[in-house]
Every structure is written in structure tokens, then in C-alpha cells.
Amino acid sequence: MKHVLAALVENKPGVLSRIINLFSRRGFNIESAAVGETEDPRISRLTVVVAGDDKVLEQVTKQLNKLIDVIKVSDLSSDGMVGRGLALVKVSVDRETMGQIIEISDIFRTKIIDVSPKSLIIEVTGTDEKIMAFIDLMRRFGIKEMAQTGLIALARGAKATTIKKEG
């Protein structure tokens, strides 16, 4: 079972390495982790996708919370959420395949962001499933290289993982 956790952490040097270290020390199986600044520059938001049962999820949440630099942890997968990842895929092309690739790319609503006679770089965003489906389709054309972000996610509706302002 996959869970998506969002953690608000202090935007300080070393925080990410603390978190990664925690995951490896406790033997947590993390599928992806993505981190970036929030609307408040003092705070970063970390999104982790973790595989495991409820007991694992509970431990990951609690152990994350134990880190002094971690301010808040929410399980986004328990309620509705929207999650997106991004991949950049460099695909081999020739005259014959160009049309097919562009056609598939259109269906997936991707962007072609670099064109050369022998390759295209395609930017695809979406859910993990969509990205994986797209990558699978590209394989037969020959993927030269690719890079992928971890999933980032927000809860649906007005509910938010934020910090209560004090005073």
C-alpha cells in the first residue's frame, strides 16, 4: 500500500539529510521524496511516497515528527488529494517516428521543450500512473535519458497542511 505524506520542515541546511538518514536508519522503504520552499521562505515542504502497511506509516509519521526540524506531518492519502510528478524524457527520433511521438505526446498533453534532428525532450506532468504510461509508450522509440521528480501533492478542498501562526 502506498501512502503520501506531506511534512513541513524548517528551511535550514542539513534538514533533508537528517530526514534521508532517518529513513535509512529505520529501514523505511521510501519510493520518492520531493522537497521545496513553501509560501513562507522559512518553511520547506517535503512530500514522501512510502510503501508499507498502516504500522509502517504510523512509524514513519511518528519518527518524522520526532525530528526537531520537522514541524508538521500529514497523511494526504487518507483524504482526497491531488498529486503530480514531472518527468523529462529524451527520446530518439527520425523522420519516420517523429509524427507518432508527437501524436502520443499530444494525447498525454505533454510539452516538447527541445528539438534536434535525432532527439526530442518531452516534459510530461501528471499522476505517477500517467507518467509511467507515457514512459512505457516511449520505450519502443528509444529513451536516451530521462529525469523524474518525486510526487508533490496537496489535499483537495480548503483543508491545508499549514502552521498555526502564534500570537
Residue 62 binds to other proteins (criterion: CB under 8 A)? yes
Q: For the CB of residue 59, give the shortest distance to other proteins in the complex, in Å.
A: 6
Q: For the CB of residue 70, give the shortest distance to other proteins in the complex, in Å.
A: 5
| DSSP class per residue in 102-150 | HHHHHHTT-EEEEE-SSEEEEEEEE-HHHHHHHHHHHHTT-EEEEEEPP
Instruction: Report the alpha-carbon distance of residue 76 to residue 84 in Å, rounded.
Output: 13
Of 35, 67, 88, 102, the residue at the interface with other proteins (CB under 8 A) is 67
Instruction: Report the alpha-carbon distance of residue 71 to residue 38 in Å, rounded.
Output: 13
Q: Are 110 and 122 in contact (CB under 8 A)?
A: yes
Residue 40 binds to other proteins (criterion: CB under 8 A)? no
* C-alpha distance from residue 149 to each of 26, 33, 56, 124 (Å): 24, 8, 24, 11
For other proteins, the closer of residues 14 and 117 by Cβ is 14
For other proteins, the closer of residues 7 and 91 by Cβ is 7
For other proteins, the closer of residues 58 and 94 by Cβ is 58
Of residues 15-34, which lie at the interface with other proteins (CB under 8 A)?
Answer: 17-18, 21-22, 25
Q: For the CB of residue 43, give the shortest distance to other proteins in the complex, in Å.
A: 9
For other proteins, the closer of residues 14 and 41 by Cβ is 14
Q: Are strands 2-10 and 111-115 parallel, antiparallel or unpaired?
A: unpaired
Q: Positive or negative, the Cα torsion across 88, 93, 95, 101?
A: negative
Residues that bind other proteins (CB under 8 A): 9-10, 14, 17-18, 21-22, 25, 55, 58-59, 62-63, 65-72, 163
